[in-house]
Amino acid sequence: MTGSDRSKLIDVELDESIGRSTPDVEHERAVAIFDLIEENNFQPVNDNGTGPYRLKLSLAEQRLVFAVAREDGTAVVTHILSLTPLRRIVKDYYMICESYYDAIRSSTPSHIEAIDMGRRGLHNEGSQTLMDRLSGKIDIDFDTARRLFTLVCVLHWRG
């Protein structure tokens, strides 16, 4: 196994006790998990070279839980983050996604593009905030943060 294979996720699980959401949200979840598994950079701080990793994302008492385990399921670390710094971004992102999904069914291409630009901007802001919140805990790159932010939104929308 190469060094890059050791600093990556091989499995991502969302807390299923929250239930299912709309087809659009479920599609976003499936795509984000697939893309995340295909390409990611994920390394818990102070656990160098002992991956690959499994990640379970959940919500507990309005906090975001990152439960990281090794390939064989052995627990590595659990980080519990306040959702407060992400709450506004997730709420705004959810609202703009609803507008986007409505627009792709009935609006002009220029209107859809304008909404999508705003959606991408909020997504980038949320991704950077998530990277900042995980700083010193889990090293991730921006593309990995983007995919994880999508999953955080899916959890939040369900919760």
**Model pTM greater than 0.85?**
yes
The residues, any chain, with a CB within 8 Å of residue 21's CB and separated by 6 or more, are: 29, 154, 157, 158
Residue located via tokens 């009935």? 106
CB 129 within 8 A of CB 83: no
Residue 157 pLDDT greater than 90, yes or no? no
Sequence letter at residue 55: L
Give me 5's structure tokens. 């294979």
CA separation, residue 94 to residues 78, 123, 141, 150 (Å):
27, 10, 23, 10
Greater model confidence, 1 or 116: 116
Per-residue pLDDT at 17: 61
Read off the pLDDT of each residue in 69-94 and give the average, rounded to a whole number: 93
Q: CA 33, CA 116: separation in Å to the nearest integer?
A: 21
Residue 151 pLDDT greater than 70, yes or no? yes
Per-residue pLDDT at 77: 96
The residues, any chain, with a CB within 8 Å of residue 115's CB and separated by 6 or more, are: 96, 99, 100, 103, 107
Mean pLDDT of the chain: 88
- pLDDT tens per residue across span 2-57: 456 789 999 999 887 666 667 777 787 888 899 999 999 999 999 976 889 999 99
Give me 60's structure tokens. 């507990």
Angular region, 98: left φ>0, alpha ψ -120 to 50, beta rest:
alpha
Of all helices (H) and strands (E), which one includes residue 55? strand 53-60
